Structure 1
Amino acid sequence: MKSSITLITLFFSSLFIPILAQENSTVEKRVYTTQFLNETEAPTIDGLLNDSSWDIVDWTSDYIENEPDENTPPTEQTKFKIVYDKSFLYFAFKCYDKDPKGIVKRLSRRDGFEGDWVEVNIDSYNDKRTGFSFTISASGVKGDEFISDNGNNWDGSWNPIWYVKTNVDEEGWTAEVKIPFSQLKFGASKEQVWGLQSTRRYFRAEERSVWQRVKRDAPGWVSEFGELRGLVDIQPQKQLEIQPFVVTQLDTYPKEEGNPFRDGSNSKITGGLDAKIGITNDLTLDLTINPDFGQVDADPGAIALDGFQIFFQERRPFFVENKNIFNYQFADGQDNLFYSRRIGRSPQGYPNTSGGEYVDIPTNSTILGAAKFSGKTKNGWSIGVLESVTDKEFAKIDDGTSRREALVEPLTNYIVGRAQKDFNNRNSYFGGIFTATNRNLQADQLNYLRKSAYTAGFDFMHNWKNRKYYILGNVVASQVNGSKEAIAITQRELTHLFQRVDAGHVEVDENRTSLTGTGGKLEIGKNSVGNWRYYGFFSWRSPELELNDIGFLRQADDIKQIGILTYQTLKPVGYFRRINARFEQFTTYDFDGNHNRTQNSLSSNVNLKNNWYLNYQLIHKPKIFTNTVLQGGPRFRYSEEVINSLNVSTDSRKKIRFDAGIVVSQGKDNSFSYTEFSSGFAYQPINAFTISMYPMYTINKSKTQYVTQTDFGATPRYIMADIDQRTLSAAIRMDYCINPNLTIQYYGEPFISRGKYRDFNRVTNPVAKYYGDRIEVFNSNQIAFDETNDRYDVDEDANGSTDYSVRNPDFAYVQFRSNLVLRWEYIPGSEVFLVWSQGTTGLGNPKDDLFTSLDSQILGRKPENIFLIKATYRFLL
């Protein structure tokens, strides 16, 4: 292990030595001054640049290369003009090209960013942290994103209404753009001063050039913009948009004899309304009534053997828009005070049933309505308030002669309030957040759910020395309330595990009706100037912290320290366009003072001159203890672990490109291992069509995989086994673009996972250094498989009688999901979707191999189908 780290260190050192530090001179801010024109003089948006209205302003050019060789002349030059009237901002772009036939005009859906393109970024708040991005490809495809966190986050879910046309001529290609002021946010001032940036992608050289130079060691993106001046007496446009929609849906599925809820098909027609109301030009009220929160891509298949919840990305448009304002990641990872997928979640209850009864439970809770008030003011206040109400949900139970209902989810109200204030010339901010979840629980119904949950937080950030250094921090607090049963369940959940037998600082109190916890982080670091950057932070989550009613918290009772050092080249060197390297070290403790983990990692990301990418990571975990694996049992030790991963990607510009990767994890003494093989290709034979497939195969082995716990007399027994888990999945996509506004997409993903258990054992010394001393494997006289009852009978004392039994944990899970979507944006902002979704989920035979399960459970099984048509019309009032 030491020799591996030494070799890697020497390798990176050999790369760093010849690279000289770049100059630290200040970059001069560029300024473009626009002019007003009457609406009758507005240019026709046809991409030809022949309107006389463009003559009132001058061209600006002198783009400078940003990637790969920063601060050098680009291969081809670009220029633009800007004019405006009382309602619109207009851009004209001229992208020179000595070989117009070589311009790459790849088609894609909106936000595809394929081929040659030019982009404009507008910081209309002039807050040096956020902005609006508009991208125009040579083929006429639009891309639009909301920029936040000084360029560290680009949100493609923002879809404003704007207009663009392009044209190729003998000098290159041109574009005309018209952006309504109603789609931007800005304050009321006599003369506006906005941040401005433009970027061009020259596809053949994979080169980026920019209007305003941004040094490679700059502290961010938006803070480095130039300025747009000359916007005088423009009136803030109060946005008013109404978007009604109608959805008709037909579901078909295999009929189940005797089950009245599975007769083979059902259909429905629904409608609803989304609206945007500009309270001011800064602040918008979003409303939705009977929303359609369907999503095109299904969640990826996954199995969590550790019992923890799985985090899935939000895709529903209402929650995605302006999500940066509501974001409150308070420690590290995915923990957040607001996790919008809690709203409309699957019902948490299940009815009591008897033999012969069939049950129908809604897939999701019905969202009766939601409202969101959000935006940013000219004074630097970011404000967000969200409220949503989900309906009561009932399960239907039918025994063939009568039908009854049982409540499985109560009427619930969710509230989120978020605010941040910029100050100190936009170099600092402070903010706060508050969330509330209130369930309308009735007596003796669902009293195992928490009745209410509240969280609050305070955060801040300060940059100094031209944003070279920064410090940030946050503090959160939570309180959950409910019946004694609900709070006792909370204390025993995997997130908390107050029942741990060796915990000296927590214990289950059956009489409690509330829990109160805290968490937070303090981070400080160097964020710009030169090749080196670094930061470190300290975070904590107290044992009683609970966020999972409207937030996301994987585990409480955790204290963490982390330090990170990164290196990046500022100029191409040798065979490399760019090199990034990172060293990371962290340790974790619990509130009982136990040192649970130490981890060190070294990683590199290399972009070669041929535009291939190489990624390598080495992770060493010399100390690994976990409080959760025995799920209420004692703290358990894992053996020292070493992880190596390597990924190679070919040039993404090529018509056919490949990816391949491998991850190998090995525990000391061969106590566990994990191997992951990933590969894939994308093929684009013509500009309008792309097909891709990315399969993945994993092998997970462990001699100490937790199975269950039971009692032997008055002594608890923690049962483990040797697991061999194999998982195969493949994401398949096909995209055909008839034109920028009419596209057909297919997505499909088979997912198969099979796990076999053997060599069952019990935990004897959970913290022993050698894994064999932690467990005692049952011999053939102590354990026997009962095939009739599908369980293992354990005679631990070998006296001829069964002491306890363990159900057979072998599993085979098979899933296939696919979507075929035709999308037509018949006018800007208004769309028609034709969707065919298909899926099947089943339990295979663990004795079969993965491909047999694929054949029998996916290819050989009748799937469930969803056919729907959704039409929207967007009124701009």
Structure 2
Amino acid sequence: MKILHLFWVLFLFPPLVFAQDSTATKAVEKKIYRTKPLNGTPPPTIDGIINETNWDLVSWGEGFVENEPDENTPPSQETRFKILYDQKYLYVAYRCFDTEPDKIEKRLSRRDGFAGDWVEMNLDSYHDKRTGFSFTITAAGVKGDEFISRNGNNWDSSWNPIWYAATNIDDKGWTAEVKIPLSQLKFGKSKEQIWGLQVNRRLFRKEERSVWQRVPQDAPGWVSEFGELHGLIDIEPQKQLEIQPFGVVQYDTFPKEEGNPFRDGDDFKLNGGLDAKIGITNDLTMDLTVNPDFGQVEADPAAIALDGFQIFFREQRPFFVENKNIFDYRFANGQDNVFYSRRIGRSPQGSISELNNESVDRPVNTTILGAAKFSGKTKDGWSIGILESVTSREIAKIEDENGNEREAIVEPQTNYFVGRVQKDFNDRNSFIGGIFTATNRNLGDAFDIDEDNPDTDETIEVAGTRENNLNLLRKSAYSGGIDFRHNWKDRKYYVEGNIVTSRVEGSKEAIENTQEELTHLFNRVDADHVEVDPNRTSLTGTGGKLVGGKSGGGNWRYNVGMFWRSPELELNDIGFLRQADEIRQFANVRYLFLKPTKLYRRANLGFDQFSTYDFEGNYNRIQYSVRGEINYINNWWTEGEYIHKPRIFTNTILRGGPRFRFSEENIAVLFFGSDRRKKFSFVMGHVNSWTWDNNFSFKRYVLRLNYQPFDAFSLSLNPEFSINPNKTQYVTETDFNGTPRYITADIEQQTLSASIRLNYNINPNLTIQYYGQPFISRGRYKDFNFVNNPIAKDLSERVTLFDNNQISFADDTYSIDEDRNGTVDYTVDNPDFAFVQFRSNLVLRWEYIPGSEIFLVWSQGVTGSGDSNDHLFRSLNNQILDQQPENTFLIKATYRFVL
């Protein structure tokens, strides 16, 4: 069976996994810093000037070594630090020596901007050697804070604790003082705390990093290499209680539509809610939100997908972003995840059957009535996350020209639940975990039965008729999984894996619709291993991954593994799954150039390979790629990649039609850029794809410009242009004398976008930020054809072009007389399109006291359909610059009570 071919690499690579690297670094001795308590003496004043005598209670932590670019060498400038504590706070003093203090870079930025010179402290208060809390202060006094997970492979800047810092510049360099409430850290109760500790300094003008605890360049991670903080005696875990009410005043303006009572030109709203953070224990925190508002969140980038698959957007809402690493469960590749928080509060999914001359007031998003999140990690290695959220029933209002009203429920009340747990063991070198999710929709409130005639499904409502249009939604969805990871030989080698199961339940109509979705395609005409069963009321599937390799030590890194997603796997009620019915084998190897030379600071080369199969055993794809990166001695850089795809079959392109072949493809990628530290920097890039038979191609041009004329102001402009011609772009399926006809055509798609960002920092706590993105995508179709032999190697045999005697165009419709008998056999609507969109946010943010903020927001948006016959810039002018935009003005104020 062809599927067995995927195991070839498992026999090729195991010798590499256990091979020793002759360049491996010897174990580095762990450093220890001993702190002392204040013992009742007044705490230091946090003004950035280290002049209080109580700092003399402890000695300086020193002996920093360079980490980048030339690891384990003396740094250009010396750094020292001190740490004190009492029962409420940790106090830190930094002395960053600089022989040229006038060259200290004091760039302002918003919080977590990490611009200019800075120094940071990383604390592994769990001492699990995988997670930590990072506190960064820049020479300009801007704070940055991140939660570190996956042993330094993930830094989450959405974590925003309350802490205090100040800086000062003198003739010896610059100094900083920091006060961190113990309530913002997580640690267990014990006589003496032992925490992981690292202090890291950036010398901006040389792009040099120096660290207190040496971390070799070939180390398998970051947190696992920390030194230790000792001397924290008899400190009590601090239970956290924070309450943050908010109020929002919002005013919307939009183009007035004559005869539409819902679009009269403006709207005014008042809103309020509450966020709370409760420390159940010092390790575990309960986050609550009631009627949350996300008005200041940046708009999603515009995108259009002709392949029919859903588009992944990153989470930006603060409640869901915080501690998201605990809930993360990526089980296969890419964005596939058992939990995708964007499902909560999504756009209503129900359809509306509109009649002529009707106006519709449809909710944009589903209202989140409330949500609670219980999460954290205990001292003995239990990582726990529980999330519960309820969204409201959403109703669209419909009114005709005579004032008659009716309603349509477009989203039922829904309950979402996620439970996640992991347990460390084997001296924190291994973990095992699990996840469970549940989505339950109250479809019973989708309609009201006429009590006078209960045998009918007529729907009624006081205001008029209410439609039952939720019959395609699943009633419930459950998923569960188990994952593990084991590291050995000082974490240099690892094996990890997971398994996922899912079950969805609903009406026969809902489950039949699920089987026919693009994710599953049980209705594929040439598939023998799946078929649509219209009587099913549930669907159960599995997925998972197994991978092992080398993550540290010496110059080589490699892994090999496989994952699968069964045809029945369905996660999209609360997770993200792009496509089921796939088995993939993969192998990756990289060589790291760890020692800088006169040419470069860092460089690496890599080779990747993967192949895919479906569950029928069809060998669908194999791909090879070679890639490399180099950071030159002057901090310019280059990245390149070459990809070869000798075999490309797809089960989805014909949307239920037969398996289809694409011609052999090659892709070349080249990006390079200048030194990002300079006031002006740029990135230029090009992606070029080409195929045999000129089946399709893709050309992408990228330019990213960044300019910071002075410390408080920066701007960036990122234009992109792409051209994507394809001779077999799917158009539609029709019928020809009882035979299915899959119509494709030659499309020339052009897309132009440009994201614009402006940041002005009045001071570290008062910033003005602007984001805008015009987006234009145009597609023109020609040379229509039908699929003849979908798996033929030559394009001329794969599809058959319609000649001028078979196809004609009139009234925006293509008429096709395939058998040339003078009678139209079928018609195809003109698929040409021009999608135009502009979105922007202007936000003034003032953190008037730590943790409490005021936002002034102006959001603007225009979405339209241009003329596909116009060039892109004319569409920009006609559909964006000449149109009245939709505007939202809001004021949001929060106040954080720390009790």
Same fold per TM (> 0.5)?
A: yes
AA of the residue aligned to 2:366? S
- Deviation for aligned residue 1:351: 2.0
In structure 1, the partner of 2:883 is 861
For residues 771 and 559 of structure 1, the distance between their equivalents in structure 2, rounded to whole angstroms, comes to 27
Alpha-carbon distance, 1:680 to partner? 2.2
Q: Comparing 518-527 with 346-355, which one deviates more in the overlay?
A: 346-355
TM-score (norm: length of structure 2): 0.95
**Offset at residue 24 of structure 1 (A):** 2.1
AA in 2 matched with 1:107: L
Cα deviations by residue, 1:598-619 (Å, 9 ceiling, x for unpaired): 0000111110001011000100
Structure 2 partner of 1:349: 350
Q: CA separation in 1, counterparts of 2:492 and 2:296?
A: 41
What is the RMSD of the two structures over their aligned residues, measured on CA atoms?
0.9
Question: Per the alignment, do residues 602 and 867 of structure 1 end up closer, same or farther by CA in structure 2, a change over 3 Å counting?
Answer: same
Which one-letter code corresponds to 1:862 in the other structure?
Q
Match of 1:845 in 2: 867
Q: What is aligned with 1:756?
A: 780
1:797 aligns to what?
819
1:318-717 maps to which residues of 2 (within 5 A)? 318-400=319-401, 401-442=403-444, 445=468, 446-717=470-741
The one-letter code of the counterpart of 2:856 is L
1:211-241 CA distance string (max 9 Å, x none): 0000000010000000000000000000000
**Displacement after TM superposition at 1:714 (Å):** 1.2
2:654 and 2:674 mapped to 1: Cα distance?
43
Residue 353 (structure 1) shift: 2.2
CA deviation after TM superposition for structure 1 residue 573, in Å: 2.2
Q: Deviations over 1:290-329 (max 9, x none)?
A: 1113343111110000000000000001100000000000
Distance in 2 separating the partners of 1:279 and 1:249: 35
1:53 maps to 2:77: no
Task: Give the AA of the match of 1:427.
Answer: N
CA distance in 2, matches of 1:581, 1:573: 16
Cα offsets for 1:629-686 (capped at 9, x unmatched)? 0000000000000000100110001011111000000011211110000002111110
* Deviation for aligned residue 1:582: 1.1
CA distance in 1, matches of 2:553, 2:420: 32
Return the letter of the residue paired with 2:311. Answer: I
Equivalent AA in structure 2 for residue 736 of structure 1: Y
Shift of 1:60: 1.2
- Judge conservation of contact 1:90–1:176 (CA < 8 Å) in 2: yes
Preserved CA contact (<8 Å) 1:749 1:817: yes
- 8 Å CA contact 2:25–2:218 kept in 1: the answer is no
Counterpart residue identity of residue 474, structure 2: R
Q: Give the letter aligned to residue 731 of structure 2.
A: V
CA distance in 2, matches of 1:711, 1:39: 87
CA distance in 2, matches of 1:386, 1:616: 42
- TM-aligned CA deviation for residue 737 of structure 1: 0.4
Aligned AA (1:429): F
Q: Is the 8 A contact 2:242 2:896 kept in 1?
A: yes
SS in 2 for 1:27: coil
Tell me what 2:195 maps to: 194
Q: Distance in 2 between matches of 1:876 and 1:833?
A: 20
AA at the equivalent of 1:825: E
Alignment coverage as a number of residue pairs: 856
Deviation at 1:405, TM superposition (A): 1.2
What CA deviation, in whole Å up to 9, does each residue of 1:732-767 have, x standing for no partner?
111110100001111110000000000000000000
Alignment correspondent of 2:16: none
Task: For 2:139 and 2:598, locate their aligned partners in 1 and report how far apart those are by CA, in whole Å.
Answer: 32
Q: Which deviates further from its counterpart, 160-169 or 435-444?
A: 435-444
* Contact 1:22 1:570 survives alignment (8 Å): no
**Given residue 847 of structure 2, which amino acid in structure 1 is its aligned partner?**
E
Residue 876 of structure 2 aligns to a residue in which SS?
helix
Secondary structure class of the residue paired with 1:510: coil
- Asked if the contact 2:24–2:218 (Cα under 8 Å) also holds between the matched residues in 1, the reply is no
Q: How far, CA to CA, are the matches of 1:605 and 1:806 in structure 2?
A: 47
Q: Aligned in 2, Cα 1:32/1:543: closer, same or farther, shift over 3 Å?
A: same
Question: What are the ranges of 5 or more consecutive residues in structure 2 without an aligned counterpart?
Answer: 1-20, 448-456, 458-467
- Counterparts of 1:23 and 1:777 in 2: how far apart (Å)? 61
Amino acid at match of 2:426: N
Matching residue's letter, 2:212? W
Q: In the alignment, what sits opposite 2:164?
A: 163
Aligned-residue identity in percent: 68
What SS does structure 1 have at the residue aligned with 2:697? strand
User: What CA distance in whole angstroms lies between the structure 2 residues aligned with 1:647 and 1:161?
Assistant: 39
Q: Does the 8 Å contact 1:21/1:531 carry over to 2?
A: no
Q: 1:5 — aligned with what?
A: none
Distance 1:21 1:539 in 2: 32
Query: What do residues 9-58 of structure 1 show as CA deviations (whole Å, max 9, x unaligned)?
Result: xxxxxxxxxxx964521100000000001454200000000011101000
1:515-561 Cα shifts (integer Å, max 9, x gaps): 00000000100111100010011100000000000000000000000
Structure 2 CA distance, aligned partners of 1:414 and 1:90? 41
Which residue in the other structure is 2:243 paired with? 242
- Secondary structure at 2:874 match in 1: helix
Partners of 1:58 and 1:81 within 8 A in 2: yes
Q: Distance in 2 between matches of 1:242 and 1:514?
A: 42
Bigger shift: 296-305 or 452-461?
Answer: 296-305
Distance in 2 between residues matched to 1:570 and 1:31, nearest whole Å = 27
**3-state SS in 1 of match to 2:443:** coil
Structure 1 segment 206-217 matched on structure 2, within 5 A: 206-217=207-218
5+ residue gaps in structure 1? 1-19
Query: Which residue of structure 1 aligns with residue 306 of structure 2?
Result: 305
Q: Is the 8 A contact 2:25 2:216 kept in 1?
A: no
- 1:151 maps to 152
Residues in 1 aligned to 2:79 and 2:140: alpha-carbon distance in whole angstroms: 17
The answer to whether the 8 Å contact 1:294/1:316 transfers is: no
Query: In the alignment, does 2:857 pair up with 1:835?
Result: yes
Q: What is the CA–CA distance in structure 1 between the aligned matches of 2:215 and 2:23, rounded to whole Å?
A: 13
Contact 1:80 1:94 in 2 (8 A): yes
For 2:597 and 2:655, the matched residues in 1 are separated by 51
Of 774, 799, 802, 1:778 maps to 802
Amino acid at match of 1:409: E
Partner AA of 1:447 in structure 2: N
- The AA in structure 2 aligned to 1:610 is N
